[in-house]
A and B are shown apart, each in its own frame.
Chain A
């Protein structure tokens, strides 16, 4: 397996899903593919974790879902961000940025 290809960082999967869905509604495979592509293959999404995360986010009211036809005529479950989901994404993004800059500062200081 490609050594560059790692699992999504613990705890960031929800944020990545929300971010991906903030652009357009997608089905599960689409989201996984989008995350892999945008991260240039750094992150690989585990389907079990992904589909479970959908259940969780949907129950939390951050996502809505509906069954629709895909462009290649398959029936798929499409997820859409709700208003609450959009708000949650903002919160998580801000939080993430804050943490990342803190970690970066720490690493630089040590270096």
Chain B
């Protein structure tokens, strides 16, 4: 009630200042008149009564002033007038204002751009999902603590039937689908989902409906499909009439029952899904027997009402134990021992932390640029405050309070930073737009909309204003502590001006911060170079690759095998082709397949790949012992395997591993060869135990083709496309890329970090160098009289140049000392993202310090030379 009154009265007073002032004046006048009347009644004359009244109550104008000062609206009113005054002052010096705004924009833009990425990947709620705070994701944990993320259908069914804390436990797996709607077939990434998937997310269809109960219960009974809004509008012409019609999915007729809401692309940010089919259609769309037991399903659920997440976090690990006991296996059917429950985010449980840490590093780098910009502006402001001292002194002499003066100076600075924040936001718009168009390795279903939204705008304004307050305080306090009389007496300014301690500190500060950025950029770049130099254990040069998803074309195993065989023989006959082979999973693409082998009663977890004959010669991998796979190693012959050196040592440290037999998927398998160790999933990994099996003995419908050619491989791409389409014109056009391109994602974090810190480092160094240059130039200009005298007394030009340069370089050297220690600390923080590079890599530190020193020399030499060519007579006469 009273708060309401405060607000209403305040706003009334604010909007109708004149009326409320008049009311106060009237009241004070009435009081005065009554006082006069009282004195008249006591017998004083008119004049005497007026005098007495004035003595008694004081000057009525002052009283009215005092009453008017009450209320919060006065703060607003004075702030507004400060703002108007600031705008006027800044309009008088447009160049200065523009430079400051530009500098702040650069810093703020850097922060806003990185924050946009963080926002898009982590913070922004996923479109279409409601009440996301009640959702959770389940991640199985392997016995060695690794977060697996996926579980099997058996695990899912058990958990779904037993959980008491979660109302809708949903599961989904990836599936690639070829949809033939109108026109040619399109390959899209789809999700195979449990029937309650959309219900659990509280997603409502844009058109039609989502899956019903029986579509979730009976295998193969209901071939139905839901497509994304984007797919519907681009491929199906946005026609509402298509709902209810049949479309061909992997060659089978499916009924299109619904359109997902606009922007809903599945639950993981950046991984795009265009179609959803029920899990019950799995035997048709991914016809493999092992999908009941292998782990390929992500799981998430919605908490029951009033159940806290802690209950679910307690429930699921114990359910996993129960499940393992009931199914009679020590570790649970898929080899996982426990389960972690995470709050639902747009990122898979384990990866979220890494992404956030990585973006945190980049955000810190961007914040450094903003800080440099802040220091830079503070330096400019202190330099200008010397020129403005007279104006401020004049205002103080006219009665402006010191607090009021300080507030006005701060308002001016905050106005500049506010404009800078808006400028930064616009820079971020441009930068994120450019980033979205950076082409990623092909075939990845990645879609990230980085565009900054209101949250980014608010964040950049807040961060810029915070920096503005910190660096605006110095000039503001200075304004309040100004010595008025001294300023008004010799208004000409101090001809002996030298950069003050504060100025020097600010310059050294921004120089050292920019060195931190430079060193980080250097470390990331070096790490990228080292990463590219890491010997993966095979030769990528001269090899091109492309992947085929025969399942999604509706091929069965016989037809797919015939296709792969025909493709191989046709490509092999192309002149210039040296080797052709297939592999189940391309190395260095981040993922791996793990299985178990049994030998001598022990179970060993190994990473595996199924490869075709000729794989090792195509990639130039050395067979250390034994033989490579042959065409003869097919399903009719003896089961064979080739192991890497690490696995060979593990299996038979003292004896020859060749000829030994282990059990794999229940079948005795003989080791026929040992191949050199290599990198498999990532470049940073420590060499895993690895086993290769002939693809003919361990059938995989999805395979990557590898083709080695002699020399230039430009021409081979179209040739492969031609052969594939000649074999079956209905299949999607393959995308052929060099192996280097196809595996580029393995160094993506280093590439991004090197690029971002490189750009930020350059911006930071440029700002700092301009700051140093500006201070030296200003100093030289203010000291022109001193220079004149020096020349007049016979000083050599080189001496004067040396003096000025030495002054600049002293600051630079000091900045190197501080910057190197700061960079050493920062490098520890980014250590986890570096490859084969010590965080204290001396070469990087030395190189970057040298680069830094040379830029600083240039920034000090230019003003020095200007001092040297100035005319001593003119300089002396000007005074």
Question: Which A residues contact B (CB, under 8 angstroms)?
Answer: 27-30, 32-33, 47-48, 51-52, 55-56, 58-61, 72, 74-77, 84
Binds A, one of B1-9, B225-233, B448-456: B1-9
> Given A47-B58, A48-B67, A28–B31 Cβ distance below 8 Å?
yes
Q: With an 8 A cutoff between CB atoms, is B27 at the interface? A: yes
Assess whether A29 is in contact with B63, with CB atoms less than 8 Å apart: no
Q: Which of these, B1, B5, B9, B63, contacts A47 with CB under 8 Å?
A: B63
Beyond A27-B30, A61-B5, A75-B30, 16 extra complex contacts between A and B, CB < 8 Å? A28-B27, A28-B30, A28-B31, A47-B28, A47-B63, A48-B58, A48-B62, A51-B31, A58-B5, A59-B9, A59-B71, A60-B2, A61-B1, A61-B2, A74-B34, A84-B1
Q: With an 8 A cutoff between CB atoms, is B38 at the interface? A: yes
Q: With an 8 A cutoff between CB atoms, is B334 at the interface? A: no
Assess whether A29 is in contact with B26, with CB atoms less than 8 Å apart: no
- Residues of chain B within 8 A (CB-CB) of A29 are 30-31, 34-35
Cα A47 to Cα B23 in complex, Å, equals 15
Q: With an 8 A cutoff between CB atoms, is B466 at the interface? A: no
B34, B37, B38: residue with the most chain A Cβ atoms closer than 10 Å: B34
- Residues of chain A within 8 A (CB-CB) of B2 are 59-61, 84
- Residues of chain A within 8 A (CB-CB) of B1 are 61, 84
- Residues of chain B within 8 A (CB-CB) of A75 are 26, 30
- Residues of chain B within 8 A (CB-CB) of A51 are 24, 27-28, 31, 63, 66-67
- Residues of chain A within 8 A (CB-CB) of B31 are 28-29, 32, 47, 51
Cα A15 to Cα B272 in complex, Å, equals 69
CB-based nearest B residue for A47: B57
Assess whether B66 is in contact with A77, with CB atoms less than 8 Å apart: no
* A-B contact list, 18 entries, CB within 8 Å: A29-B31, A29-B34, A29-B35, A30-B34, A47-B58, A48-B58, A48-B63, A48-B66, A48-B67, A51-B31, A51-B63, A55-B67, A55-B70, A59-B5, A74-B33, A75-B30, A77-B23, A77-B26
Cα A61 to Cα B35 in complex, Å, equals 28
Cβ distance B76 to chain A, nearest Cβ, rounded Å: 15
- Residues of chain A within 8 A (CB-CB) of B23 are 77
The 10 A-B pairs with the shortest beta carbon distances in the complex, nearest first, are A29-B34, A48-B66, A61-B2, A47-B57, A51-B67, A48-B63, A55-B70, A60-B2, A29-B31, A76-B30
CB-based nearest B residue for A51: B67
Cα A32 to Cα B27 in complex, Å, equals 13
Assess whether B66 is in contact with A52, with CB atoms less than 8 Å apart: yes
Q: Which B34-71 residues have C-beta < 8 A from chain A?
A: 34-35, 37-38, 57-58, 62-63, 66-67, 69-71
Cβ distance A59 to chain B, nearest Cβ, rounded Å: 5
- Residues of chain A within 8 A (CB-CB) of B70 are 52, 55-56
Q: Which of these, B6, B30, B38, B66, contacts A74 with CB under 8 Å?
A: B30
- Residues of chain B within 8 A (CB-CB) of A52 are 66-67, 69-70
B2, B6, B23, B30: residue with the most chain A Cβ atoms closer than 10 Å: B30
Cα A72 to Cα B796 in complex, Å, equals 91
B2, B5, B67: residue with the most chain A Cβ atoms closer than 10 Å: B67
Cα A47 to Cα B27 in complex, Å, equals 11
- Residues of chain B within 8 A (CB-CB) of A61 are 1-2, 5
Cα A55 to Cα B58 in complex, Å, equals 19
Cα A58 to Cα B5 in complex, Å, equals 8
Q: Which of these, B5, B24, B38, B67, contacts A33 with CB under 8 Å?
A: B38
CB-based nearest B residue for A28: B31
Assess whether B5 is in contact with A60, with CB atoms less than 8 Å apart: yes
Cα A72 to Cα B36 in complex, Å, equals 13
Cβ distance A4 to chain B, nearest Cβ, rounded Å: 16
- Residues of chain A within 8 A (CB-CB) of B69 are 52
Cβ distance B614 to chain A, nearest Cβ, rounded Å: 89
Cα A58 to Cα B58 in complex, Å, equals 24
CB-based nearest B residue for A1: B55
Assess whether B58 is in contact with A77, with CB atoms less than 8 Å apart: no
- Residues of chain B within 8 A (CB-CB) of A58 are 5, 9
A48, A75, A76: residue with the most chain B Cβ atoms closer than 10 Å: A48
Cβ distance B499 to chain A, nearest Cβ, rounded Å: 48
Cα A61 to Cα B6 in complex, Å, equals 9
- Residues of chain A within 8 A (CB-CB) of B33 are 74
Cα A76 to Cα B66 in complex, Å, equals 19
Cα A72 to Cα B9 in complex, Å, equals 30
CB-based nearest A residue for B67: A51
- Residues of chain A within 8 A (CB-CB) of B24 are 51
Cβ distance B67 to chain A, nearest Cβ, rounded Å: 4
Cβ distance B753 to chain A, nearest Cβ, rounded Å: 56
CB-based nearest B residue for A27: B30
Cα A10 to Cα B273 in complex, Å, equals 72
Cα A91 to Cα B762 in complex, Å, equals 67
- Residues of chain B within 8 A (CB-CB) of A32 are 31
Cβ distance A109 to chain B, nearest Cβ, rounded Å: 40
Cα A77 to Cα B30 in complex, Å, equals 9
Q: Which of these, A27, A48, A72, A84, contacts B37 with CB under 8 Å?
A: A72
Cα A1 to Cα B66 in complex, Å, equals 23
CB-based nearest A residue for B65: A48
Cβ distance A60 to chain B, nearest Cβ, rounded Å: 5
CB-based nearest A residue for B72: A59
- Residues of chain A within 8 A (CB-CB) of B71 are 55, 59
Cβ distance B173 to chain A, nearest Cβ, rounded Å: 64
Cβ distance B531 to chain A, nearest Cβ, rounded Å: 67
Assess whether A77 is in contact with B37, with CB atoms less than 8 Å apart: no
Cα A28 to Cα B793 in complex, Å, equals 77
Cβ distance A45 to chain B, nearest Cβ, rounded Å: 10
- Residues of chain B within 8 A (CB-CB) of A77 are 23, 26-27, 30
Cβ distance A91 to chain B, nearest Cβ, rounded Å: 15
- Residues of chain A within 8 A (CB-CB) of B37 are 72
- Residues of chain B within 8 A (CB-CB) of A27 are 30, 34
Cα A29 to Cα B58 in complex, Å, equals 14
CB-based nearest B residue for A45: B57
Cβ distance B6 to chain A, nearest Cβ, rounded Å: 5
Cβ distance A51 to chain B, nearest Cβ, rounded Å: 4
- Residues of chain B within 8 A (CB-CB) of A76 are 27, 30, 34
Cα A25 to Cα B27 in complex, Å, equals 15
CB-based nearest A residue for B62: A48
- Residues of chain A within 8 A (CB-CB) of B38 are 33
Cβ distance B342 to chain A, nearest Cβ, rounded Å: 50
- Residues of chain B within 8 A (CB-CB) of A74 are 30, 33-34
Cβ distance B55 to chain A, nearest Cβ, rounded Å: 10
- Residues of chain B within 8 A (CB-CB) of A59 are 2, 5-6, 9, 71
- Residues of chain A within 8 A (CB-CB) of B9 are 58-59
